[in-house]
């Protein structure tokens, strides 16, 4: 199997498209469910309260989504969207490593680790 730049480019395109489309589908379906259920309530975005803990951390979001809470499922879709470029970068680490491009495997790993630290709350703990 050849891991030339062309093939890598095509696969990265597929990763991005799949990620965005599935995230949009999750958000759309859960959003429709949320609006059917609580569409007539009065929103309050004027004053900032910050989201509850279950909508802040990866584990909280997944747990809430598994319990079928619409807001948690929307948040899970948004989490999938944020994860898409991160998976793209992980894929590039792999591709550079397979091409034996050590310098870029390292550069890309640095980017990947920073993204991972940010998403998992190492940079700013979710509480």
Map residues 10-49 to x or -, x wherever contact with another protein holds by CB under 8 A.
Answer: x-xxx-xx-xx--xx--xx-xx--xx--xxxxxx-xxxx-
Return the C-alpha torsion angle 107, 110, 116, 118, nearest 10. Answer: -120
Are 8 and 88 a contacting pair, CB within 8 Å? no
97 touches another protein by CB under 8 A? no
**Does residue 65 interact with another protein by CB under 8 A?**
no
Structure-token match 């809430």, residue found: 64
Angle at which helices 102-119 and 70-98 cross, to 10°: 170
Minimum gap (Å) between residue 39 Cβ and another protein: 3
Q: Can you tell me the distance from the alpha carbon of 120 to that of 59, in angstroms, rounded to the nearest whole number?
A: 9
Would you tell me which residues interact with another protein (CB under 8 A)? 5-6, 8-10, 12-14, 16-17, 19-20, 23-24, 27-28, 30-31, 34-35, 38-43, 45-48, 50-52, 55-57, 71-72, 74-75, 78-79, 81-86, 88-89, 92, 103-104, 107-108, 110-111, 114-115, 117-121, 123-126
């Amino acid at each position: 199997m050849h891991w030339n730049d062309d093939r890598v480019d095509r696969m990265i395109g597929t990763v991005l498209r799949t990620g965005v489309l599935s995230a949009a589908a999750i958000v759309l379906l859960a959003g429709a469910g949320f609006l059917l259920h609580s569409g007539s309530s009065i929103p309050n975005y004027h004053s900032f309260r910050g989201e509850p803990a279950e909508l802040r951390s990866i584990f909280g979001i997944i747990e809430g989504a598994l319990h079928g809470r619409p807001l948690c499922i929307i948040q899970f879709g948004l989490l999938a969207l944020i994860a898409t470029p991160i998976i793209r970068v992980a894929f590039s680490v792999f591709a550079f490593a397979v091409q034996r491009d050590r310098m870029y495997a390292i550069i890309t790993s640095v980017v990947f680790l920073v993204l991972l630290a940010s998403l998992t709350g190492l940079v700013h703990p979710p509480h």
